[in-house]
Amino acid sequence: MEDNFQSAYQEEEDRLNSALTEIDTVLERLRGIPVYTGHDYTEQALEASREQRRKDLAKLRQEPYFGRLDFQGKDEEERKALYIGKIGVDREQVSDRPLVIDWRAPVASLFYSFTGGTEPASYEAPEGLIEGLVYLKRNVVIRKQILERVADTYNRDSDGPAVSDEFLVYRLGENKDNRLRDIVSTIQEEQDKIIRAAKNTALIIQGVAGSGKTTVALHRLAFLLYQYKEQVSAEKMIIFAPNRMFLDYISDVLPELGVGNIAQSTFPDWAADVLGVVLPEQNAAETMSHWFEREGGMPEITGETPGRFKGSTALMGIIDSAIGLLENGTVPEGDFSPWDGSVLRRSMILRWHNEEYAPYPPAKRKERVMARIHRWIEMELKKSPSAAALKDRKKKSAAREKAYSAKWPKYDPLTIYKQIFRAVKVPEDWPAEAPERIPQGVLVSTVKDLKKGILHEEDLPPLLYIHYLLNGSEGGSRFDHIVIDEAQDFSPFQIAVLDLYVKGHSFTILGDLSQGIHAYKGVHAWEEMQTLFAPEQTAYHALTRSYRSTMEIIEFANGILSAGVGSSLLAVPVFRSGNPVRLIAYGQPLPGPAAGGDSRLQAVRTALASLSGREYRTVAVLTRSLREAAELYTELAGQFEDIHLIDGSMTEYRGGLSVLPVYLSKGLEFDAVILADADSDHYGSAAWDAKLMYVGCTRALHELWMLHGEGLPPYLQNGEGTVQGWPE
């Protein structure tokens, strides 16, 4: 065994040296070509591609590849060793095999999809299905040109039939810094299927906590850009994530994969930008505090909860009828006369409006008709008998044109939205029943807020929809692909509106219903989104394995889900074992000297000192509310370095020690998590409380300590799988 390993290592070292020499030769040749600075467009394009290549190769020299797959196609005479890296490199000399194969290339899919066995394997290539035998699957760790590790996960000649998880477990055991990383060397089969799924589908992915949803979505973007080079561009792709800090947290992955320029935004930021409105930060903070900071838990959620109603397609229907009415009676009554004695018949204006410009949406149509009237006036002005008459007519016509334009309905999304809710005066011919279809509670609260000029996040999809119906997607600029992370917090209406802004229903929609802590606005079942699309336009995948946390943490968190939520969406752990989850009551004798403060503060301090003293790079203290996080932070800040309070307004994630309310921890991960106040005073018995605690627990990679006062919520009471008290 040892000998085999030695010879594999030697073989890979030799191959690495020769690959590096070849890369250097290509790089030297490229660097030897004088940089083109002239004006010829074709030459400029060639220079740009050479420059990109120089950059790629310089980066690739550090870590040319990460995997090797030995494969023999059915029609091939010999097996070939294929080396797979983040970027493909062809050889200088003509050869049937590239020096490095791009991980996104069809043949590289075998590296991910092959799960072992002695049967032939196959992959989809442009020329059809290629079948053959896999002989070896090897992970090769190279850092800064040094070969660090060689691990065979499958060897037809010596191993058992399955691909082993050993290398994956080694990778998962590493500590994380403050950024999400790429996983190209260990993408799993279930993830690979999603990454390589066809472009024009609304993919809906239910994935348990830590199943790699965010990571997979980012790899999928890199794949789409490679596979559909001619059809998509990075500038026309967008990722929607829950907040700006999260965007910062994921910001390294795409550049690591050699992808730049993809827009990343939150839905409110993007929508406010399209609409040209400002949504004060304060409103979002108030919404959070309304739902998460209330004494006695979360208010009940019903179909009349504003976020749920405004996120439903029922409101879409009401908007459709209102805009339909606008279309009927838009052209003002009467002929248009720019000055006395000159008349443009209404029948002519109607013909322009109803026939020539009929394909345009209402606001654009009005713009076109008014431009046409303007041109007509200019022609008429040319017929003026004298300079004085011309001057007089110009003045009069300008005023009458303006007055005529003002007689049209106001095509402004906010005005129409207010009219729908009757927060401003409505046109006489609007049907009386519209408000009857809006639940009374929603109607009253919306009118009150709209009159005060307050907009909430849930008002954005209807406003955007009205904007779209009035203007279309401006300039026809629709996205090539949209990624929605934490999609359980999105409403069906949001997806329906975004569908208007993307070509071919090309979505990657990822989320976890078990983490649906924003159920007052998000979906409660994926069918709410699936039914927006025709069956052939959508596909559903489930990710059930969790890669983030140790088995102990996953099993403990699963216990909370089954006892507290009654959910069957439980995570399957990768076989990575760590320390047991700890349940520590405030007031238990401390393992060392007390550091001051009451028993709760002493416990948090002791836990933080103990965990941050280990090799962990990121540790979090999660509280139930923002107020408690802020108070704890103030108490702890003097004692610990590199400690940060996360309060929802930050744009950067710094790592180190973080103190934050549990609801803001969604999407993030930490080497160790201290969940403070895991008691019945802070977490009630409702499913929502259990989900909140589940989110907190599943943020931990290696270590989870639950600190608590008296009384535990029912779903923690059996304490199964935990140890109680402080470590020795």
Tell me which DSSP letter residue 116 carries: B
Would you give the binding string for ligand ATP spanning residues 641-680, x where CB under 6 A is met?
Answer: --------------------------x-x-----------
- Among positions 59, 156, 181, 193, the unique one binding ligand ATP when judged by CB under 6 A: 181
Q: Please, what is the minimum distance in Å from the beta carbon of residue 669 to ligand ATP?
A: 6
C-alpha radius of gyration, the chain, whole number: 31
Span from 15-23, 145-153, 165-173, 671-679 in contact with ligand ATP (CB under 6 A): 165-173
Residues 148, 9: Cα–Cα separation, whole Å: 9
Residue 179 touches ligand ATP, criterion: CB under 6 A: no
User: For residues 180 and 466, which CB has a smaller minimum distance to ligand ATP in the complex?
Assistant: 180
Residue 206 touches ligand ATP, criterion: CB under 6 A: no
Residues 125, 147: Cα–Cα separation, whole Å: 31
Q: Please, what is the minimum distance in Å from the beta carbon of residue 375 to ligand ATP?
A: 55
Residues 272, 530: Cα–Cα separation, whole Å: 26
Contacts of 680 (CB under 8 A, 6+ apart): 711, 712, 713
Residue 691 touches ligand ATP, criterion: CB under 6 A: no
Q: Which residues of 299-334 are buried (b: 16+ CB within 10 A; e: fewer)?
A: eeeeeebbbbbbbbeebbebbeebbebbeeebbbee
Q: Please, what is the minimum distance in Å from the beta carbon of residue 181 to ligand ATP?
A: 6
- Among positions 171, 179, 368, 541, the unique one binding ligand ATP when judged by CB under 6 A: 171
Would you give the binding string for ligand ATP spanning residues 344-363, x where CB under 6 A is met?
Answer: --------------------
Tokens of 502: 């993307």
Residue 193 touches ligand ATP, criterion: CB under 6 A: no
Q: Which of the residues 415 through 434 are near ligand ATP (CB under 6 A)?
A: none
Residue 620 touches ligand ATP, criterion: CB under 6 A: no
Residue 207 touches ligand ATP, criterion: CB under 6 A: yes
Cβ atoms of 107 and 151 within 8 Å: the answer is no
297 is in an annotated binding site: no
Helices (H), 196-311: 213-227, 244-249, 253-256, 267-275, 281-292, 306-310
Residues 133, 156: Cα–Cα separation, whole Å: 9
213 is in an annotated binding site: yes
- Among positions 109, 191, 305, 665, the unique one binding ligand ATP when judged by CB under 6 A: 191
Strands (E), 74-226: 80-85, 101-102, 121-125, 128-143, 146-155, 202-207
Q: Please, what is the minimum distance in Å from the beta carbon of residue 695 to ligand ATP?
A: 8
Q: Which position has the token pair 């047991």?
A: 580
- Among positions 698, 704, 709, 722, the unique one binding ligand ATP when judged by CB under 6 A: 698
Q: What is the 3-class SS of 298-329, one letter each residue?
A: CCCCCCCCHHHHHCCHHHHHHHHHHHHHHHHC
User: For residues 171 and 193, which CB has a smaller minimum distance to ligand ATP in the complex?
Assistant: 171
Q: Which of the residues 503 through 532 are near ligand ATP (CB under 6 A)?
A: 512
Helix (H) or strand (E) holding 674: strand 670-675
Helix (H) or strand (E) holding 72: strand 67-73
User: For residues 215 and 610, which CB has a smaller minimum distance to ligand ATP in the complex?
Assistant: 215
Residue 547 touches ligand ATP, criterion: CB under 6 A: yes
Residues 33, 58: Cα–Cα separation, whole Å: 16
Q: Please, what is the minimum distance in Å from the beta carbon of residue 504 to ligand ATP?
A: 25
109 is in an annotated binding site: no
Span from 30-38, 208-216, 534-542, 618-626 in contact with ligand ATP (CB under 6 A): 208-216
696 is in an annotated binding site: no
Exposed/middle/buried for residue 603 (C-beta within 10 Å: 0-12, 13-18, 19+):
buried
Of the candidates 346, 179, 196, which has an alpha carbon nearest to the alpha carbon of residue 246?
179
Residue 213 touches ligand ATP, criterion: CB under 6 A: yes
Q: Which residues are annotated as a binding site for ATP?
A: 207-214
Name the site residues for ligand ATP (rule: CB under 6 A).
Answer: 168, 171-172, 176, 181, 183, 186-188, 191, 207, 209-215, 512, 547-548, 667, 669, 698
